[in-house]
Chains A and B, each alone.
Chain A
Amino acid sequence: MADESLFDFLHMEIVSHVYKEQQNSKGEMDNKDRAVCVSVLESMGFRVGQGLIERLTRDSPSFKDELDVMKFVCKDFWTKVFRRQVDNLRTNHQGTYVLQDNKFSLLTQLSSGKQYLDQAPKYLAFSCGIVRGALSNLGMDSVVTAEVSVMPSCKFQVVIQKL
């Protein structure tokens, strides 16, 4: 069984690679390049999220409602993927959810506090994709973004798309 640290190492290298590649083909990076990098990482995460949730919920009964799904994501799914539960879940009961993780596992190695704050989005794109992918396989289309004000605390905003 693969050790937890392997994912951390691999993830950091993937982020590094994606940004390096984008930079190489352009020489320097502008906001559009950064958006491309985030998008690539997010779509990789999406595939992974789909795969993970499929294996996790293989034998579980279906969920009662949207809130039930989100609670599952915050507890079981978050524990399995990010090694802890979401600390706080808020919703406006109209399809928007905010998941707060005060010690987000992918950020704890970067720093605590304000240093490297501008680097944080790079390391969150993949995770946003994981969440979006998981929800997608549970029948919920969403837009997932993440926001950091003080590392390693992180807020994920999930907006369920109504058809």
Chain B
Amino acid sequence: MSRQSNRTTDSKKMNSELFTLTYGALVTQLCKDYENDEEVNKQLDKMGYNIGVRLIEDFLARSSIGRCQDFRETADVIAKVAFKMYLGITPSVTNWSPAGDEFSLILENNPLVDFVELPDNHSTLIYSNLLCGVLRGALEMVQMAVDVRFAQDTLRGDNVTEIRMKFIKRIEENLPAGDD
């Protein structure tokens, strides 16, 4: 019995390594292709966005979560369901703005950065910026325009990793042209 579970955990861990190693290879390649960190950050965000707009369907299909009533519910779903499902971690939701349109996700540990160190000449690289794009793309598909950015990053010396999410506006669904 225990042998069986060991294999499953190992298999999940190995897949985790496949993902984190692939992500590392991607960032390395982008650093080679683009002159500066700013451009790499932009590419990671763009690629994250492309992933996010497809990931949301996978998420909705597997989680059977209904429509969120407000931004607070959205925050909880992101932290407790989505992050748990895809990255196996549950960030805490904190630092709500008084208007309730901005909050932080605090990640104690970030699976993307296992075994990663930023070299000195890449101090402005936002290594995990793909995540910002993913969140932005996924939420856009459920009619929410948001701004997502890293406020703190353990790779750059901070104690925790903090992702700041701000609600911009509701995106009106584009209805097809009617008969009028």
Contact = CB atoms under 8 A, between A and B. Distances in A.
A47 B14 contact: no
Given A3-B87, A16-B50, A79-B11, A52 B21 contact: yes
Residue of B14, B16, B20, B111 contacting most chain A CB atoms (<10 Å):
B14
Nearest to A44: B25
Contacts of A103: none
A142 to B, nearest CB: 19
A150 interface: no
A48 B111 contact: no
A81 B18 contact: yes
B28 interface: yes
A11 interface: yes
Interface in A77-98: 79-81, 83
Contacts of A7: 15, 18-19, 22
Interface string A1-35: 11111110111011011000100000000000000
A47 B11 contact: no
Interface stretch (B51-59, B66-74, B100-108, B143-151): B51-59
B170 interface: no
A64 interface: no
B17 interface: yes
A3 B86 contact: yes
A40 interface: yes
B21 A40 contact: no
A159 to B, nearest CB: 24
Interface residues of B, number: 34
B25 A47 contact: yes
A56 interface: yes
B13 interface: yes
A26 B22 CA distance: 27
A3 B22 contact: no
Interface in B14-42: 14-26, 28-29, 33
Nearest to B86: A3
A10 B23 contact: yes
A44 B28 CA distance: 9
Closest 4 pairs (CB-CB, A-B): A80-B14, A2-B16, A1-B88, A2-B19
Given A9-B51, A14-B47, A55-B14, 15 more contacts: A1-B15, A1-B88, A2-B16, A2-B20, A4-B15, A6-B87, A21-B33, A44-B25, A47-B24, A47-B25, A48-B25, A51-B21, A81-B14, A83-B11, A126-B22
